[in-house]
Amino acid sequence: MAVDVRRMLKRADFLKVKAQGKRAMAQAFVLQYLDVAEEAGVSVGFTTSTAALGNAVHRNRARRRLRAAFDDVCRLNPAAQGAGKWLVVVGKKPVFEIDYAYLVKDMRKALTEAGIAC
């Protein structure tokens, strides 16, 4: 069964993951993750900054690409397993330049490092 995923929406949760969590680096993004015992599944949030990516059109495009890669690797993958994690995916400039297949490969590698079997 696929991983139970919910969206992270509260700014306080994003800040908690940034302050207390660990990081997995990839070429097009940084995956910040935090173990949360009371979380039944995985909570994930996507963020991009104006300084790193530019205007709203570029930031939205980057978030869509990152969300699609996450869905392919984790949410829609019936073999994926993991629970008790908060994840924040922070987009970086190369998200536009790299091939989508490589982005999915990086996402799989980062999620595996965070403790989610893909």
Q: At what angle do helices 100-114 and 56-70 cross, to 10 degrees?
A: 60
Tell me the one-letter amino acid at 1. Answer: M
Across the chain, mean pLDDT equals 92
Share of the chain above pLDDT 70, in %: 99
Average pLDDT estimate for 92-97? 94
pLDDT of 38 reads 87
Per-domain boundaries in the chain = 5-113
Structure tokens at 106: 């990086």
pTM for the full predicted model: 0.92
Residues 6+ apart with CB under 8 A from 32: 17, 18, 21, 22, 23, 87, 88, 89, 90
pLDDT band at 1 (very low <50, low <70, confident <90, very high): low
Q: Which of 82, 73, 79, 69 is nearest to 43 (CA)?
A: 82
Average pLDDT estimate for 52-79? 92
pLDDT band at 13 (very low <50, low <70, confident <90, very high): very high
Which helix (H) or strand (E) covers residue 70, if one does?
helix 56-70
Q: Read off the pLDDT of residues 14-59 as tens digits, 9 standing for 90 and up.
A: 999 999 999 999 999 999 999 998 888 899 999 999 999 999 999 9
CATH 3.30.230.10 fits 5-113, yes or no: yes
Phi/psi region, residue 54 (left: phi>0; alpha: psi -120 to 50; beta: rest), is: left
